[in-house]
Amino acid sequence: MFTKEEIKEFIIKYGKKWLFPDFYNKVTWYVITLGAGIILTPTPFKLVVYNWIIESFNLNLGNTITLSEMGSSNTDYWLGFGLIISALLHNVFSKWILHQNDIQQRASVDTISTVDKSLFKEFLEVFPSGSRSSELLHTHDFEHSFSLKSLDEIDKFVNEWNCPEKSFIDPKLETIRKELWVKCNEFSRLIAEKSSPTCGGLQSVVPDQHRNDWDRPKWINDDIKLVNNMASEVFTLHQTFIKSMREVLKC
């Protein structure tokens, strides 16, 4: 039913507390206090209390019972010890329940961590910090031409990472992944809209017919600024995602 490791861990973690119940456990302390009171209270005082209880019972219910019918004074001690033992057992049982909950929660967290670590490893194979796409986002000025090959990692991420299989279980990480995917998708669309092939086989935001202009149209400069700004946003999100992954997953 329980493994040796679970039993050993339980004994080590809670063994010292079995005979020292938590103060917030009111039920345990009430019962122990009652049991100790029964044991430690002098017999004459207990007789007075018992007589008062008997008289009240007889008066209210009309039944007649006597002190002798309640048994000898030794019963008091057994009752007291019984209450204390039952309280301690209750404490042990509650500790065991908490311990099992801890095990289940840790197992759940470990499972989530394992799944997310595996997915993070896959992400780093697709879109790592040292990739061509990452370097393009971080260092390239889109006033100049660039190779479409530099977009391969971004395109692969956009095409393949918008499905349940690529979702992280951790809500924080999944939120950042979605933000990164949305921004990468916007960047891909923007590049497709604002750039065109050059005669040299590259891609450029500046059309060939305006490449050597001293006074280019304003819309070209606006496009360059727009693409550069979005590239910076994507790169920042990409780096934030990787840092958050390492912090949460401890890898």
Spans of all domains in the chain: 4-112, 127-249
Task: Return the exposure string of 202-239: e unless at least 16 CB atoms fall within 10 Å of the residue's CB, then b.
Answer: ebbbbeeeeeeeeeeeeebeebbeebbebbeebbebbe
pLDDT tens-digit map of 25-75: 666 666 556 556 655 555 554 555 555 555 555 555 555 545 444 444 455
- How many whole angstroms separate alpha carbon 96 and alpha carbon 86? 15
Whether 177 has a pLDDT exceeding 90, the answer reads yes
115, burial (CB in 10 Å: exposed 0-12, middle 13-18, buried 19+): middle
Helix or strand run (H / E) with residue 43: helix 43-61
54 vs 30, 39, 46, 48, 96, CA distance in Å? 23, 20, 12, 10, 40
Helix or strand run (H / E) with residue 204: strand 203-204
Q: Are 21 and 91 in contact (CB under 8 A)?
A: yes
Beta carbons within 10 angstroms of residue 59's beta carbon: 9
- How many whole angstroms separate alpha carbon 70 and alpha carbon 48? 14
In this structure, the dihedral spanned by the alpha carbons of residues 70, 75, 81 and 87, taken in order and rounded to 10 degrees, is -20
pTM of the predicted protein model: 0.58
pLDDT tens-digit map of 191-212: 999 999 988 789 999 988 887 7
Q: Are 170 and 110 in contact (CB under 8 A)?
A: no
Of 24-33, 112-121, 228-237, which gets the smallest average pLDDT? 24-33
Q: Are 204 and 198 in contact (CB under 8 A)?
A: yes
Of 31-35, 105-109, 110-114, 136-140, which gets the smallest average pLDDT? 105-109
